[in-house]
Structure 1
Amino acid sequence: MKLFNASHIEVKKDFKEDFQTNPYEAGWADEAIFFIDVEGLSGMNPTLTAAVEISHDGVHWTSEGTVSEPISKEGLHFVRVKHFGNWLRLNCQLEGEQPVFRLNIQLALKG
């Protein structure tokens, strides 16, 4: 029987500049999906790009290589990752003039 866990990483937060999500220990899982729910956005041409980062200890981080499509509209978006070791987080870049994203980010794990 597979194990499943869904955790809220960021809840109803407004982001105005580049950020990294809270890290999550996920070494037991075989696969992960970050769900990025954009509840609102403002500014001129706001765009968010989310890159998966991995860590062996939750302190030192490196790029895993998976990057989301550019996100520039409200709704639910996702990023999948399969081979990630122990810790996961998203490194998010915001572009545009005075971008503001209201986000809920959830991590779904299955093992």
Structure 2
Amino acid sequence: MKRCITSVLEQGNVWEANFATEPFEAGWASEARWFIRILDPLPAEQLTLHLTPQISPDGILWCDDVESSPSLRLDLPVAPTELFTLPQRHFGNWLRLKVDLGDAGKPMKFLIYLVLKE
């Protein structure tokens, strides 16, 4: 029987600067998929966000996982109901998602899920 787990790593937290989700141990999984929603308040002006999956052997030192999953570029504004996804494969043991808010300068609220399966 295959295993699957869904974890909510950001649930309505408000961010005004770049951040990364909490590390998640995923060594047992063969694939991962990130799901991202930007909740209100949404910036009305045009902004670009970059979401980059990161990998780590120990959950302490991190590098961008550009080999298996390139960054996702989001051009704002977007509808608050819009859901974005980013697949990730061939990773080590620890995963997290780095979110670059660029020049946003305004608080934004995120909902970020990580789905793992083998």
TM-score > 0.5, shorter chain as reference: yes
Listed as ranges, the gaps of 5+ residues in structure 1 are: none
Amino acid at match of 1:55: S
Moved over 3 A (4+): none
Per the alignment, residue 10 of structure 1 pairs with 10
Q: Which whole-Å CA distance do the structure 2 matches of 1:33 and 1:92 have between them?
A: 15
Q: Is the Cα contact below 8 Å between 2:48 and 2:73 reproduced in 1?
A: no
Q: So what's the TM-score if we normalise by structure 2? A: 0.86
Residues 3-57 of structure 1 show CA distances to partners (whole Å, capped at 9, x for unaligned) of: 0000010111111111111110000000000110112212532332100100000
Amino acid at match of 2:73: E
The percent of aligned pairs where both chains have the same amino acid is 34
Q: Is the Cα contact below 8 Å between 2:20 and 2:98 reproduced in 1?
A: yes
Size of the alignment, in residue pairs? 111
Listed as ranges, the gaps of 5+ residues in structure 2 are: none
> Cα RMSD over matched residues?
1.5
1:67 has 2:71 as partner: yes
Q: So what's the TM-score if we normalise by structure 1? A: 0.91
Higher strand proportion: 1
